[in-house]
Amino acid sequence: MAHVLIAEARFYAHLNDMLLAGARAALDAAGHSHETITVPGALELPAAINLAADSGRFDAYVALGVVIRGETYHFEIVAGESARGLMALTLDGLAVGNGILTVENEAQAIVRADPAQSDKGGDAARAALALFDLKNLY
Closest CA relative to residue 81, chosen from 47, 49, 108, 110: 47
Annotated ligand binding at 112? The verdict is yes
Residues with active-site annotation: 74
Annotated ligand binding at 72? The verdict is yes
CA atoms within 13 A on the CB side of 2: 27
Contact 11, 40 (CB under 8 A): yes
Residue 87: C-alpha distances to residues 9, 33, 82, 94 (Å): 17, 23, 9, 9
Annotated ligand binding at 42? The verdict is yes
Annotated ligand binding at 43? The verdict is yes
Query: CA 21 to CA 8: how far, in whole Å?
Result: 11
Annotated ligand binding at 98? The verdict is yes
Annotated ligand binding at 11? The verdict is yes
Annotated ligand binding at 35? The verdict is no
Annotated ligand binding at 71? The verdict is yes
Closest CA relative to residue 118, chosen from 129, 130, 132, 107: 107
Which residue ranges are tagged as binding site?
11, 42-44, 66-68, 71-72, 98, 112
Annotation: binding site for 5-amino-6-(D-ribitylamino)uracil: 11, 42-44, 66-68, 98
Output the known binding site for (2S)-2-hydroxy-3-oxobutyl phosphate: 71-72, 112
